[in-house]
Amino acid sequence: MRRQFDDREFRAESEAIFPSEIGTWRDPSNYRAHFRQVRKIAKLDWVSPKTIRKTVATAIYSADGLDNASQQLGHSEIGVTAKHYVQRLNIGPSGVVGVLDEWLQSAS
């Protein structure tokens, strides 16, 4: 975390996604405190930075593949992304899905 904080000094302040009120980089500890306040107000206490990372990874994986999701998160190996960040959808082959749909409709 400290390395990321130090690295940001070399990037333009305009690159900050969540800049401070005056447009500068936020200190990570201040960001975390503000994020907790917002979650509480929104009644989204279950949301964490990792939850957001998982959502982003899953969205990119669904739209553009595992390699790109892994690159977005900065992982050196896609296995980490696949195991810990991407929610895989249980979608079977179309033939199987059709058979199961027919079975469900006949059971009703």
pLDDT over threshold 90, residue 80: yes
pTM above 0.75, yes or no: no
pLDDT of residue 11: 57
pLDDT over threshold 70, residue 29: yes
- The per-residue pLDDT for range 32-72, each reduced to its tens digit, is 888 899 999 999 999 998 999 999 999 999 899 999 999 99
Token look-up 């079975």 returns: 103
Counting residues of the chain whose pLDDT is more than 90, the rounded percentage is 44
